[in-house]
């Protein structure tokens, strides 16, 4: 009989090597998949590597792609650590972009040093509004947060659709009716770093956010309460923590992070409001946060890994000639090996022979 025996201490070296093994195993399994369609495996992986880390431009793309994933991942970390099962990151990303777009209208003309913080803050505020609604539904009306956040996701998507199609924000004129807003003015583009055309200043924010999250989680009373809430809310309640208030704070903070992702996408990448580049960022963030072991630093690495895969996907498609849908499949496969590796790091596999 095979049993898993808990290790005394998770061994750092063993943890690291098991995760490397997971990546290798994940890639190996993907190779089988690639080979099954007759494509050339080394070519495909070459393209993947080239597209994710092969050049400064590829690295920039990886960073840009990782940015929203890390932020939605952090949103997940904060909520899930408190055992608040918010699935609302998806809608909050949309809300962030919408709030940011509204901000761009309201704050147009301000100097950049005021404009960008202003519009990002408005985006985050819009997300926080959503988080607040879910928190009120949970605290006041005992509506399970999975239900409320899933429902709010749908509502936000339809709201954006209306704003862009039939509502006030749709692009009018020569190219009317295409589910997108007009292009933002150049002054509303997040400034580029290192003269790159792609690497916008927003890529710095996830790292800043992760550092803040790490500090908050491990060193502040709020982080203490978040962790405590996840472990044992009853004890916290007995010891004077206002659970409803803490839940609201957590859901709003989490929503703000997810919304920041949406706002950065708007000002850094798409430069106009439209839905298709926002779809899936929230759901992917949940997975990123969980692969990151619900730790802010782990989430950064997981986000970079997923960002690299996403960035390499196009190269794989164009140079390696495999369907782009290989990438989500590879992400899924790698995720599973990661999970197995996580188990390996925490447990020892022991073959138990019946003792006579």
Partner 1 sequence: MSQLFQEAIIISILASTIRIMTPLLFSAMGELITQRAGIWNMGVEGTMLTGAFAAYLVATLTGSLWLAVLAAIVAGALMGLVIAFMTATLRVDHFIAGLGLNLLAGGLTLYWFQSYIQGRAQPIFSGFQDVDIPLLSDIPVIGPVLFSQRALTYVALLVVPVVWFLLYRSRYGLELRCLGENPKALDVKGLSVSARQYLAVMLGSAMTGLGGGFLMLGFSDRFLADFTAGRGWIVIVALIAGNWRPRGVLIAVTAFAFLESLATHLQVVGAQVPHQLLLALPYLASIGLLMGLRFRSGQPARLGIPYARE
Partner 2 sequence: MSTALRVEGLTKRFAGVTANDDVDFDLRRGEIHCLFGENGAGKSTLSSCIFGFYRPDKGEILLRDQPVQIASPMDAIRHGIGMVHQHFVLVPEFTVLENIIVGTQRSGWRLNAAEARQKLRGICDGYGIDLDLDAYVWELPVGRQQWVEILKALYLDAQILILDEPTAVLTPGESKVLFDIVRKMCARGMSIILITHKLVEVMQSDRVTVLRKGRVVATLDTPATTPDELARLMVGRDVSFTVTKPELAPGETILAVEGLSARGFWGDAVLKDVSFSVAQHEILGIAGVAGNGQKELFEVLCGVRRPAAGSIRFKGEEVAGMSPRAMMDRGVGHIPDDRFREGLVPEFSVAENVVLGWQRSPKYCNGPLMDREAITGLAREMIGEYQITTRDEHVSAGKLSGGNAQKIIIAREFLHASGLVLANQPTRGLDVGVIEYVQTQLLKKRAEGFAIVLASEELSDLFSLADRIAVMFKGEIMGIVDPRKVTVAEVGVMMAGRRGDIAASKERVSA
Partner 3 sequence: MTGSPERAAAADPDKLNIAVILSAGIESAWDGTLIEALERAKVAKPHGLDITWKYTDPLWGDDAGDAMRLFAESGEYDVIWAHSTYSDQVKKLREEFPDILFVVVGSGNEGLGGNQYWVYKRVHEPAYLLGYAAGKLTKSNRLGAVGTFPADDVNDEINAFFAGAKAANPAVERTVAFIESWYDPAKAGEYTKAQIATGADLIFQLTGNFKPCEEAKILCFGNFQDQKSFSPSTVLSSAVAQWDPDVSWIVDEWWAHKAEGKSYQGNTDKRWFAMKDGGSAVVPNADLQANVPAAVQTDLDALKARIMAGSFEVPVDVSDPKAK
CB of 324 to partner 1, least distance (A): 9
What is the dihedral sign for C-alpha 160, 166, 171, 174? positive
Contacts 24+ apart (CB under 8 A), 219-224: 222/249
Measured from the Cβ of residue 356, the count of other Cβ atoms closer than 10 Å reads: 3
- Please give the Cα distance from 283 to 47 (Å, whole number): 26
For the window 296-335, what string marks contact with partner 2 as x by the rule CB under 8 A? Answer: ----------------------------------------
Distance CA 179, CA 160 (A): 9
Q: Which is nearer to partner 1, 224 or 283 (CB)?
A: 283
Closest of 198, 205, 56, 75 to residue 131, by C-alpha: 75
Stretch that binds partner 1, among 42-50, 189-197, 295-303, 333-341 (CB under 8 A): 333-341
CB of 12 to partner 1, least distance (A): 21
Residue 8's binding partner out of partner 3, partner 2, partner 1, none, with CB under 5 to 8 Å set by partner kind: partner 2
Determine, following the binding rule CB under 8 A, whether residue 352 of this chain makes contact with partner 1.
no
Residue 135's φ and ψ, nearest 5 degrees, are -65, -45
> Where are the alpha helices (H) located in the chain, listed in sequence order?
12-36, 41-53, 56-81, 89-106, 112-141, 145-164, 204-219, 221-231, 233-238, 243-264, 281-291, 296-320, 326-346
Mask of contacts with partner 2, 191-230, x by CB under 8 A? ------------------------x---xxx--xx-xx--
Burial class (CB in 10 A: 0-12, 13-18, 19+), 207: middle
Segment interacting with partner 3 (CB under 8 A) among 80-88, 99-107, 224-232, 305-313: 305-313
- CB within 8 A of 84, min separation 6: which ones? 145, 229, 247, 250, 251, 254
| List 179, 227, 237, 346, residue binding partner 3 (CB under 8 A) | 179
Distance CA 130, CA 60 (A): 31
- Distance separating alpha carbons of residues 212 and 208, to the nearest angstrom: 6
Footprint on residues 147-166 left by partner 1 (CB under 8 A): 147-148, 150-152, 154-155, 158-159, 161-162, 165-166
Q: Which does 167 bind (CB under 5 to 8 A by kind): partner 3, partner 1, partner 2, none?
A: partner 1
* Site membership for partner 1, residue 333 (CB under 8 A): yes
* Radius of gyration for the alpha carbons in the chain, expressed in angstroms and rounded: 22
Site stretch for partner 3 (CB under 8 A), options 116-124, 178-186, 203-211, 222-230:
178-186
Which of 60, 84, 306 lies closest to 200 in space, CA to CA?
60
Q: How far is the CB of 245 from partner 2 (least distance, A)?
A: 10
Binding-residue total with partner 3 (CB under 8 A) = 35
Residue 127 CB, nearest approach to partner 3 (Å): 21
DSSP per-residue letters across 196-222: -SS-BGGGHHHHHHHHHHHHHHHHSHH
- Contacts with partner 3 by CB under 8 A lie at 51, 61, 64, 158, 161, 165-166, 171, 174-180, 183, 197-198, 269-272, 276-277, 310-311, 313-315, 317-319, 323-325
- Contacts with partner 1 by CB under 8 A lie at 4, 6, 33, 36-37, 80, 85, 87, 137, 141-144, 146-148, 150-152, 154-155, 158-159, 161-162, 165-167, 283-284, 286-287, 290-291, 323, 325-333, 335-336, 339-340, 342-343
């Amino acid at each position: 009989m095979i049993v898993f025996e808990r290790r005394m201490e998770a061994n750092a070296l063993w943890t690291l090597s098991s995760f490397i093994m997971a990546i290798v195993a994940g890639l190996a399994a993907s190779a089988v998949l690639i080979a099954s369609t007759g494509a050339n495996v080394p070519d495909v992986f070459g393209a993947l590597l080239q597209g994710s880390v092969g050049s400064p431009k590829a690295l920039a793309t990886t960073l840009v792609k990782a940015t929203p994933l890390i932020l939605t991942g952090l949103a997940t970390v904060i909520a899930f650590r408190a055992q608040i099962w918010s699935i609302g990151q998806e809608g909050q990303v949309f809300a962030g972009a919408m709030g940011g777009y509204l901000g761009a209208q309201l704050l147009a003309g301000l100097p950049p040093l005021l404009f960008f913080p202003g519009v990002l803050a408005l985006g985050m505020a819009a997300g926080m509004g959503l988080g607040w609604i879910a928190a009120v539904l949970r605290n006041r009306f005992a509506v399970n947060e999975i239900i409320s956040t899933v429902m709010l996701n749908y509502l936000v998507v339809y709201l954006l659709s209306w704003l862009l199609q039939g509502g006030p924000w749709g692009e009018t004129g020569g190219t009317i009716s295409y589910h997108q807003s007009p292009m933002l003015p150049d002054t509303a583009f997040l400034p580029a770093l290192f003269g790159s055309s792609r690497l916008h200043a927003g890529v710095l924010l996830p790292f800043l956010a992760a550092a803040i999250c790490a500090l908050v989680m491990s060193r502040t009373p709020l982080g203490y309460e978040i962790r405590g809430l996840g472990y044992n809310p009853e004890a916290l309640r007995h010891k004077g923590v206002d659970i409803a208030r803490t839940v609201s704070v957590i859901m709003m903070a989490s929503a703000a992070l997810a919304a920041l992702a949406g706002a950065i996408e708007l000002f850094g990448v798409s430069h106009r409001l439209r839905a298709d580049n926002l779809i899936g960022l929230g759901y992917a963030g949940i997975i990123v946060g969980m692969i990151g072991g619900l730790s802010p630093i782990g989430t950064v690495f997981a986000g970079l890994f997923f960002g690299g895969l996403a960035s390499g996907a196009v190269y794989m498609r164009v140079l390696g000639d495999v369907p782009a849908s290989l990438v989500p499949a590879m992400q899924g496969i790698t995720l599973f090996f990661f999970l197995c590796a996580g188990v390996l790091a925490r447990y020892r596999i022991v073959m138990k022979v019946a003792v006579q």
